[in-house]
Amino acid sequence: MTILPITITGEPVLHRGNQPVTVFDDRLRTLAADMLETMDAAPGVGLAAPQVGVDARMFVYGWTDEEDVEHRGVAVNPELWIMPAPAGPLDEDDDEGCLSVPGARYPTRRSRHALLKAQDEHGRHYELRADGWLARILQHEYDHLDGVLYVDRLEDPHAYAAHKYIRKHHWGKPGLTWTPGVDDIVA
Q: What is the pLDDT of residues 29-71, one digit of tens each?
A: 999 999 999 999 999 999 999 999 999 999 999 999 999 999 9
For residue 50, the model assigns a pLDDT of 98
Sorting pLDDT into bands at 50, 70 and 90, what band is 89? confident
Q: Pick from 21, 11, 41: which is nearest to 176 by CA?
A: 11
Percent of the chain past pLDDT 90, that is, above it, reads: 90
- Annotation says 11 is catalytic: no
Task: Give the Å distances, CA to CA, from 53 to 8, 89, 130, 177.
Answer: 10, 35, 27, 9
Kindly state the average pLDDT of the residues 163-168: 96
Domain ranges of the chain: 6-178
| Mean residue pLDDT across the chain | 95
Q: Known binder of ligand: residue 140?
A: yes
The percent helix, strand, coil of the chain (3-state, each to 5) is 30, 30, 40
Q: Known binder of ligand: residue 15?
A: no
Phi, psi of 176 (to 5 degrees): -100, 130
Q: Which of 92, 127, 141, 155 is catalytic?
A: 141
Q: Known binder of ligand: residue 113?
A: no
CB 5 within 8 A of CB 50: no
For residue 18, pLDDT beyond 80: yes
Q: What is the pLDDT of residues 124-138, one digit of tens each?
A: 999 999 999 999 999
Q: What is the pLDDT of residues 139-151, one digit of tens each?
A: 999 999 999 999 9
Could you please state the CATH topology (level 3) that the domain comprising 6-178 is classified under: Peptide Deformylase (3.90.45)
CB 47 within 8 A of CB 98: no
For residue 187, the model assigns a pLDDT of 43
For residue 86, the model assigns a pLDDT of 83
For residue 186, pLDDT beyond 70: no
